[in-house]
Each structure stands twice: as C-alpha cells, then as structure tokens.
Structure 1
Amino acid sequence: MSHLPRQELRRGQIGLIRFVLAGTANNALVQAVGPLFLLSLGAAPFHLGILATFSQLDKIARLGGVQLLGRGFGKTRLMFWGRLLSIPATVLLVLVAIITHDHGHLAIWLAVAVIALRAALQQTGNAAWWPLIQDVTAGAGLGQFLTRMRVQQRLLELALPLAIGIYLADTPSPARFAPLFGGSILVLLLGAMCIRGVAELPSAHAEGSLTARMRQTLAMPAVARFCRYQLLRALFHSACFPFWVIALTERGLPVSQFVWMSSVLAGGQIVSLWFWGRVVDRHGYRPALLPCLSGLCMLSAAWFVLPTGGLGLLLWVGAVYLLWGILEAGVQMGQSRAMVDAVPTDLQAEGFAVIIFASAIGGGAGGLLGGFLFSAASTYRVAGLDGDILYLAIVQAGFCLPLLAGLNLGAPPTGNHHEKNASQAA
C-alpha cells in the first residue's frame, strides 16, 4: 500500500481537523436544535421520530458519492461540493423559520423536508470522509489522530451549546432559530475551504457496477460482521436518544438547560478521549467498545429514579449525560478502530459506504418505530411508572444486542492494518 509523504500526512490531518470543527459548528447550529425547532412549530413525538429517521436515511446518499468516486471524482472535491451545494437548502431553512407564523402541519413537514435535504447533500460528500482518514493516517497512529480531532471537536461542543442555550432561552419562537440557521451558512463555507488543501491517495479503479462492488465488499466476513453490529447499534440509539428531549422537558427541564446538556456530554468525552485513544492503539477495539456498551446497558436503570423538576432533575440529567459522554467516547473510538481495520484499501469507498448504509437502515428503522412506540407508550402507566420512561429504559437496555454483535468483529484484512504491532501489543 502506498503512503502520502509525511508532510502531506500532517497537512492532511490538520485540514481534516479544521473541516470537522466547521462540521461540528454546523451540526450545533442546525441538526442539534432541529428537534427543538420542530417543537416550537408544535410538532408531536411522531414528527421527531420522522426527523430521526431521515437523519439516518440521509446517509444512503453516500452511495451517490461512492459512484462519483468510482468514476474518478476526487475525494476532497466531493466533500467540497457536498458542503457548497447544501447552502441553498440552508437558506430555505432560514426562510421557513422567518416566514412561519402559525404552527400548522405544513410548516412542520416543510422544516423536516428541508433539514433532510441539506443533510442528504452533505452526506453525498461525506462518502469520502473515512477514505480520507484512511489516507492521512496510513503509517501513523489512528487512535492518536482521532483523539486530537475529537478532543478539539468536543471542546467546541462544550462551548457552543452553552451560548445557543442562553440565546434560545426557555420557550423560543420559530423565528428565534433563524440566526442560528444563518450562521450555519458561514461554517459550511468555512468547511468547504478547509477541505480543499487535504492531500489524498488516488481511489482504486472501479470495476463493474456499484451494486456488484458493494456485494463483493459485503461478502467479506469482517465487513459483514461490522455491518450487523452497526445496524443494531444505530437501531437502538435512534429508537431511544432522540426522545430524551420530550421526556425531560415534559418533566420540567427548561429548553435552555437541555441544550446545555450537549456541553456536559462533550465534557464527558473530553475527559476520557485520551484514555480511549491509547487503549485502542495499544490493545485494539475490544477493551474500549465492549465495556462501554455494557455501561450504556446498565445506565438504563437510571430512568427508574428520574425526578420531576427542580434541582434534582438537573443533577440527574447532568450526571447521566456526563456518564453517557464518557461511555460514548469509548464506543466511538473502539468502533472506529474496528471499522478502519475491517475495510480493505482496494475497496475503500465501497467498504465504508456499505457500513454507513447498514447504519442508515438501522437508524432509520429505529427512529420510525421509536416515534410510534414512544407516542403509544406515553399514554400508559405500568406498575406506577410512566410508559414513556419505561420505554426509554427498555430500549436503552437493548444495547446488549450490539454488545453481543461486537464480541467478534474479526481480524483486519491482510495488509490493511496500519498499526498491527501497536494494536496487538499487550
């Protein structure tokens, strides 16, 4: 396998980190507040479930990016245009926030459609994201790079939600979101500029149709195992996490404090990322992924002691988000190591795309089913417990299934383990 020169590796890593920081700001300004924007329009849990479904199914747009990569379209060029073309959709989202005066269903569905459209355009470009990471970390520590990137990313996530929460206050109107959406236009431009200077290795020549190449990739045992894991993880995550906002705000948590919890979650990731990065570089994915998935399962018991309102609720939410951040950091670091190891470099774009496709299917199903089931569960009480809380506890305990799927994600393909000695060290 050929490598980029050391100077290009370093420059590429810096460019990708800057790109992902712009992407983090973009997500904070639109994706993270999307459910709150829908609630300000009068949305129901069903609408939030649909938004969560689209946020996962949008990843299928990466297949279009893979097709372009197979035809010689450059990786950085693809990501550049993915960001640039999503700007008109963002302008439309600003107009929806400004013009909407009533809380009708038309406004809600229009907002969902526009958010989904801009995400799909960005996901088309994101088909080159993991191939670029594989290019700029060849011969270098993947865990070290991911740690540097994610620490800076989480530091930004620590600060932005605090400012956004203060700005939105407790009961924001739809028009209050317009400046946030407008700010995302600027960071989209910034991200497009940052990615242009990243060097890349040439993509392997695509032979046969995209469908045939995807099947060839999926036939590889390591890739197939990781797809099963990713499908299950996305399924349970999307069936649970997007509905926290409803359960918590209905029990007295102000909107501003809910937004601040993104900073608490980021803080949990920051304090643990260096540790998890060293773990995966020295011992592989298992010591990070498996204990953290187990912790997420056990954390489901916390829903049974959820207080209502006041300082008790704030302390509960803060503690749960902090622990979730620590555990999620280990999960992300472990699964990133396993995924990069599983994908062969000669089917780079196809390998990552089929994994993202599995994630999209699982996440889309989880969001859709979760919206129906959460709405239905909210009308019941079981053994003195509110149905929505019981639902969240049960679904979160379901992380035991991706835990089982992650027990043996398999050895990396021959010649594709950049840090074979490091990751197998005792």
Structure 2
Amino acid sequence: MTQTLTNAEKLSKLPWSIGSNALVNAFVQLTFLGSVFILFLNTLGLDKTQIGFLLSLVPYTGLIALFIAPLIARYGYKRTFVYFSILRVIFAALLLLTPFVISTLGAEVTLLFITVVVILFSLTRSVVVTAYYPWAQEYIPPSIQGKYSATNNLFTTLAGFLAVTLAGFVLDVTTGLSGYLILIVIGVICGSLAVWGVLYVPGGEPIAVSRGVMTAFRDTITALRDKGLLFFLGGVGLITLATVPLTSFVPLFLQEQVGLSSGNVVLVQTGVLLGGLVSTYLWGWSSDRYGSRPIMLSGICLLASLPIYFMLMPRHSPASLYVALGVAFLQGIADMGWVIGSTRLLFVSIVPPEKKSEYTALYFACVGVFGGTSQLIAGQVVQMSSQLSGSFYFFRLDPYTPLFLLSITFALLSLVTLRDVRSDTQVTVEEFAGMFLRGNPLSAMTSLVGYHFARDESRVVAMTERLGETRSPFTVDELLEVLADPRFNVRFEAIISIARTRPDPRLTHALIDVFNGTELALSNMAAWALGRVGDQMAIDALRVGLNSKYHSIQANSARALGRLGDTEITALLLERLNHEPDKGLQMAYASALGNLKAYAATPQILHLLDTMQNEGARRELTLALVRLVGNEGGFIQLYREARADFATATAQAATALKRKFGKTLATGNNVISTLSACADTLARDKLSEGATYLARVIETLPAHHYEPHSLTILHDCADRLQTHGAERTEYMLLTLHTLDAGWHTKES
C-alpha cells in the first residue's frame, strides 16, 4: 500500500512541478497553442474557417476524458502523464516536416497532414491534462493552493514571456516558414526538458479501480446531478465561448485590421504575459485570503471589457502597437484573475477529493466542448462577416466586430451564472472591489511585502506602523498576526496601528481579547485603541472594565466609552465623579462626561479645574468644558494661536466677539464697549487688566443668549478671573470660547 504523502514532502517537490509547467508553457507557445501557430497557419494560406477548424480540434479531444479517467487512475496518474507527454513532444516535432510535405504533395495534402498532427497532439494533450488534474489535487496542499497557483503562473508566464519575445524577434529577422521551424525546434527542446523535470514530482500512483469504462462513464455523468458543479461548468463554458476566440483570432485582427506586422503581433502577446506576471501574486494571495469567487468574478468583469478596447483601438497608426500592448497587459491581468480564481474554486470548493477523477474529467470535457465549439463558431462568424465595414459612433465596424460583441455577451452571461456558485467565502465581488477604494491599496501592497521580509524587531515595528497607516482592509490579517507576536514592542505597536486603521470586526474582537488579557500595559493601550477605533462592538467589554481592580483600566475604559458616545453610563460616571478621591480617575470621568455632553457634570468639572494643580490636567479639564459648550475645533485653533502669542490671539478673539455681538446688541451697549476696551488692553499685552474686562463682560451679558450650562461656566470663569487675574490663562481662553460658541440669538 502506498504511503500517504506528507505536506513537507509535497512542498519540497513543488519547485519541480513549477519548473516543468514553465517549460511546458514555452513548448506550447512555440508550437500549437500560441499566436505563433495561428500565424504559421495563416502563412500556409489557410482561410479563417480552416484555421478555426484546426484550432477546435485541440479542445474537442478533451471529450475523451469522460471515458479514459478510470483507465488513467488504474494505470497511474504520473506514469500516464509522463508517457503521453513524451508522445505529445514527438507529435509536435512532426510539424518540422511541413515544408517537405507542401513541396512534394501540395496544399491539400498539407492541410490533411497538419490536421492529423493536430489530432495526435490534441489526443495526447487531453490524456496528459486528464491525468494532471487529479494528480495535482494530490500533491498540492489545499492550504497553499492559491499561493501555488500564483507562483506557478508567475514562472509559466515568465517562460511564456521569454518564448514569445524570442518568437517575435525570430519572425522579424526571417522570412517564410524558416522562422516558424526554428521556433518549433526550440519548443520541442523545452517540451523534452519539461518531461524530465516532472519525473521528480511525487504522487500519482496507480489506484485500484474495479469499474469498467462504461460504468465509470455513467458515474462521471451522474456527477452532473451536483448543481454546484453544473452551474460551475455552465459558467466555465460561457467564459470559454467569450475568451478562446479572442485568443485565437485577435492576432489576425491585429495584423489585418490594426496593421501590425507578424513580429509585432507576436510581441503584443508579451503584454498579455507581462500583465499576468505582475498580477499573479496579487490574485493568488487574494484568493487564499478572500476566497476564490470574488477573484474569479473580478477576472470575468475585466474580460468582459476587453472587446470594447479592441474595437476602439486606433488603426494603422504609430500608436497602434502601444495601445495594443496596453490592452494586452489588461488582458493578462484579467486572464490571471480568472485562471487563479476558477482553478482554486474547482479544487477547493467544487471537487470532492473522493470523486476527483469524475469531476475533473467532466471539467476538462466541458472546456473541450465549449472550446472547440467556440473556435468553429468564431471562424464561421469572421468568415461570414468578411465584407462588414463602416462605423457606429466611436466604433469602427469590421469582420471581427460580431466576434467582439458575442464575447461581451458570453462573458456577462458567465458572470450571472457564477455569482451564486458555492464557494469557500462569503466575500462578494463588490466587497472585494470596494477594498481597492478604501485606504491606500498600493501602499498596503508594498507594506505587506516589506512586512513579510522584515525579521529584526525594529524593522517589524516600523512595518507594523506602515500597515496601520495604509488604512486598507488588505492589511487586517497581518495586523492580527503581529498582535500575536511574542515580542512586546511589536504587540504594542500593533495596537497603535490597529487604532490608526479603519474599523474591522476582527480587529475589534482582537483588541477586546487583549483588553481582557493579563498584560496590564497592553490592556490599557487596547482600551485607548477601542475608543479611537470607534466600533460600538467594544462597549460591553469596556463597561466591564469600569469595574476593574486596576485604576488605570477603569480610567481608560471611561475615556474610551466617552469617545464611543455611550450615554448609558452618564449617571454612573456622574456619581463616581462626586465620590472618587483618585485624581487620575476624576480626570478620566470628567473627560468622558465632556465627550458625552453631560451638562449636569458642569459644576463638578469646574470645581476640579479650580482645585487642580497640574497644568496639563487643567488643560484637559478645560477641554472637557469646551466640549460641553461645543465647537471644539474653534477652541483648539484659539489655543494654538495663544501658545504662539497669547496677547495678540486673545485680543483678536475679543475683537471678533465685539463684531459678533454688535449684530444683535444695540450700539453703545455696555457689553460692546467693554469688549472694545478688553481688546485694546490685551493688544497692549496688559493681560491682568484684560482679564478684569472679561469678567465685566460676563457680568453685563444678556443671559438669555446662553444655555444654562454655558452661563454656569461663564459665571465661574468671572469669579476665577477676578481671583487669579491672568495667572490662570485657561480661564481667559475658556471665557472667550464660551462667549463665542455658547452665544445664540434665539429668545429663551
């Protein structure tokens, strides 16, 4: 009995799989499945219908997967894959005989020869792919399916990029069929090396299968009763109808309608590969984190937009090549999103491990049917509309326009079909797309890369700070990770960074866990962070914190609840403020009551302000009273100006009050004249005399222009100004602010 592979064994051999796949991609790009082959057929003089027929043979042969799946399982996935990969390379090498056939036997026999070669290649390819899917599900751990897909696509795309770049160069410097033959030789070499590399990939041993071919076929068809699989296959079929014809016929469109040379047409394909190259890690990382479906649907949305860009492309212009490269780059991004999302969805959510043979056979057969049909339809559509020309608004009409319109239609139908297919996530495509509009996604990506490469504590702390500053939902998992870091300073910075970012339920729950923990320093920081984040979910935990045995926890809980606007604790805080002897708790309760607009707390806060010796504490108490009055921002501006030049700032504030009151009070009113004298005195830096004038303003002020709590503040300030003069500057600032912000013109 074959021993089950461990994850460690699987991971150690994955580079061989990735390397082999990269070489296979170079092989097929230079032989049958890239723009090189399409241009090769066009050079041979085949028409669009014949090209479409030949291209349809490759996917149509996928139907044999329905019958051969149990035979492959019995013979062994790996052994089948290797042997038929060798045959595939041999059949591809037969293309090198094309010049001999065409020169000795003529064009008709050449078409028959190429048809036979394509059929042989396609049959062996179908066997190889049928063996690959269940084997891949065996040797790729599900937990890293997205990461593997991203890494695999990165290297296969890079290999394809190099192959296509080479092809463009070779076709530009050669004529006739010679360039294509050189590329086929290089492709065959790459295919041979790929077979050697896959020998080191583990798994794929023979499986005892008691069923016959027809029984297995019936079991495979029975899998269609799975509605999730049925909808998935329907969506895959529709997107295949939308995209495969574009891949096949866009090279001809670029050559015939846009006016690009054969070399430049091949070069455009590098844009597709480059787009896939730069986006593969983002798609793979996102699929592992947010699930397959939003990634897959995002890719479909991008694919649906591509035909519009092709139709708007400038024709026979110096800019045509660059525009084509830009559209191709977007196509590469879209293709990669679809491939990674759909592949991960297939292996993780759609295919049960115990039925992998039946499900993957159906999948490959479905792709084959729709892929082959799309090629036949596309060839016929382009051939039938060969005389189409004209324009419609901004769009140029040509033989390829119906093909583009069909592509848009099928892509949108696929989007509708796949929206509700079962998935491993509840994240919708709208929510995923919205993540790019929140915070700074570009900074988030660079910060994530920097974080994962950071090792020493100082570097991790710095990157944690950056994670919070991006305010992006993409950094949530990393912030949760650093919150569990064994290093205290890293955890401390994580709390601060979480406070900087946008509210997220998982982050709030994590902060609550820290708050309820046993590390007092971190619990206090977590309480502060919960208040700053502003998530109402934290209220219950913070209320419990009010009864903690630690005064610091009580104080920070009160402050946080004040910021969260929890008015239900107002009565409790008022009662505690009246009886609490601890100065720190008094300050915390007063600050919270100020945030809660607890006007009943005005006398107690004024009393604290009068008796408090610490200057910093007096500033905070002043701010609590300011919040009761309103317009905190106006006070902060006055406070900052006063720190720079107290006399000038207060004089300007008094002058502004004079103008404001003058609109309501009669000219010559005692308030106006007193304010005028106050402003002049303060401007001359006579602060004590100015404080006296401010007290007189309060005494002569019409009371009906202020709310009761504002009057309480003003009268207390008048008493303190008479007592302390300009020594307690906070009273002067509080007076000026309350006179301004508390003033209203309505009658009581």
What's the TM-score once normalised by structure 2's chain length?
0.53
How many residues are paired up? 413
The CA distance in 2 between the partners of 1:93 and 1:168, in whole Å, is 17
Asked if 1:370 is matched to 2:378, the reply is yes
Q: Distance in 1 between matches of 2:169 and 2:112?
A: 27
Q: Deviations over 1:232-285 (max 9, x none)?
A: 111222333311122110131011011112211111011111111111101111
Which shifted more, 50-59 or 328-337?
50-59
Q: 2:325 aligns with which of 308, 318, 324?
A: 318
1:246 paired with 2:252, answer yes
Match among 216, 220, 233 for residue 222 of structure 2: 216
Which residue of 333, 336, 346 maps to 1:339?
A: 346
Q: Is 1:387 aligned to residue 389 of structure 2? A: no
Q: 1:207, CA displacement in angstroms?
A: 4.8
Residue 316 of structure 2 aligns with an amino acid whose one-letter code is G
1:177-196 equivalent positions in 2, closer than 5 A: 177-196=180-199
Matches within 5 A, 1:399-410: 399-410=411-422
Structure-2 change in CA distance of 1:63 and 1:196 (3 Å): farther
- Counterpart-to-counterpart distance in 1, 2:190 and 2:377: 33
Partner of 1:153: 156
Aligned counterparts, 1:207-356, within 5 A? 207-208=210-211, 209-251=215-257, 252-340=259-347, 341-356=349-364
> More relative contact order in 1 or in 2 (CA 8 Å, sep 6+)?
1
Q: Which residue of 2 aligns with 1:418?
A: none
Does the 8 Å contact 1:306/1:313 carry over to 2?
yes
Q: Which amino acid is the alignment partner of residue 353 of structure 2? A: T
Provide the residue aligned with 2:96 in structure 1: 94
Q: Which amino acid aligns with 2:420?
A: N
CA separation of 1:239/1:183 partners in 2, compared to 1, >3 Å: closer, same or farther? closer
Amino acid at match of 1:357: A
Structure 1 stretches of 4+ with a deviation exceeding 4 A read 201-205
Name which of 31, 44, 49 aligns with 1:46. 49
CA distance in 2 between counterparts of 1:245 and 1:145 reads 30
Partner SS state of residue 4, structure 1: coil
Query: For structure 1, which segment, 355-364 or 181-190, has the greater mean C-alpha deviation from structure 2 after superposition?
Result: 181-190
Indicate conservation of the 8 Å contact 1:147/1:277, yes or no.
yes
Q: Deviations over 1:163-221 (max 9, x none)?
A: 11111127741243222222333223222222222211656643541212212322222
User: CA–CA distance in 2 between the matches of 1:395 and 1:307?
Assistant: 21
Question: CA, structure 1 residues 111+139, in 2 after alignment: closer, same or farther (shift >3 Å)?
Answer: closer
Letter aligned with residue 227 of structure 1: L
Q: 1:346 corresponds to which letter in structure 2?
A: E
**How far is the alpha carbon of 1:110 from its aligned partner?**
2.2
| Distance in structure 1 (CA, Å) of the matches to 2:21 and 2:99 | 26
User: Whole-Å Cα distance in 2 between the matches of residues 408 and 204 of structure 1?
Assistant: 34
State the distance in 1 between where 2:157 and 2:190 align: 17
CA contact (8 A) 2:299 2:338 kept: yes
Correspondence for 2:58 = 55
Match of 1:173 in 2: 176
Describe the shift of the 1:40–1:56 C-alpha distance in structure 2 as closer, same or farther (beyond 3 A). Answer: same
Aligned partners of 2:182 and 2:305: how far apart in 1? 40
| TM-score when normalising by structure 1 | 0.90
Unaligned runs of 5+ in 2: 425-476, 478-504, 507-748
- For residues 139 and 60 of structure 1, what CA distance do their matches in structure 2 show? 27
The structural deviation recorded for 1:42 is 0.5
CA distance in 2, matches of 1:3, 1:283: 30
Q: Which residue of 2 aligns with 1:7?
A: 8
Q: CA separation of 1:285/1:82 partners in 2, compared to 1, >3 Å: closer, same or farther?
A: same
**More deviation in 378-387 or 51-60?**
378-387
Map of 1:74-89 to 2, 5 A cutoff? 74-89=76-91
Query: SS in structure 2 opposite 1:197?
Result: coil
State how far apart, in whole Å, the 2-side matches of 1:62 and 1:309 are: 44
| Contact 1:65-1:125 at 8 Å conserved across structures | no
Q: Kindly provide the amino acid, as one letter, of the partner of residue 130 in structure 2.
A: A
Separation of aligned partners in 2, 1:192 and 1:278 = 29
Counterpart secondary structure, 2:318: helix
Q: State the 1:105 CA deviation.
A: 3.5
Judge conservation of contact 1:52–1:238 (CA < 8 Å) in 2: no
Identity, % of aligned positions? 19
Alpha-carbon distance between aligned partners in 2 of 1:109 and 1:250, rounded to the nearest angstrom: 26
Structure 2: distance between partners of 1:97 and 1:222 = 49
1:397 aligned counterpart, secondary structure? helix
Q: 1:131 aligns with which of 129, 134, 151?
A: 134
* DSSP-derived class of the 1:101 partner: helix
**Contact 1:267–1:325 (8 Å) recurs in 2:** yes
Contact 1:303–1:389 under 8 Å retained in 2: no
Query: Aligned partners of 2:336 and 2:372: how far apart in 1?
Result: 23
Residues 351-378 of structure 1 deviation map (CA, whole Å, 9 limit, x = unaligned)? 1110111111111111111111111112
The answer for the alignment partner of 1:199 in structure 2 is 202
Which whole-Å CA distance do the structure 2 matches of 1:259 and 1:26 have between them?
15
The Cα shift of 1:99 comes to 4.2
Unaligned runs of 5+ in 1: 413-421
1: distance between equivalents of 2:165 and 2:244? Answer: 24
Q: Could you tell me whether the CA contact under 8 Å between 2:79 and 2:204 is conserved in 1? A: no
Aligned Cα root-mean-square deviation (Å):
2.3
Amino acid at match of 2:26: A
Q: Which residue of 2 aligns with 1:116?
A: 119
Q: Given that residues 3 and 201 in structure 1 are in contact (C-alpha distance below 8 angstroms), is that contact kept between their aligned partners in structure 2?
A: no
SS class of match (2:160): helix
Contact 1:131-1:349 within 8 A present in 2 as well: yes
Closer/same/farther in 2, CA of residues 116 and 138 from structure 1, 3 Å limit: same
Cα gap change, 1:11 to 1:79, in 2 (>3 Å): farther
2: distance between equivalents of 1:298 and 1:411?
A: 25
Post-superposition shift, 1:130?
1.7
User: Residues 389 and 171 from structure 1, CA distance in 2 versus in 1: closer, same or farther, beyond 3 angstroms?
Assistant: farther
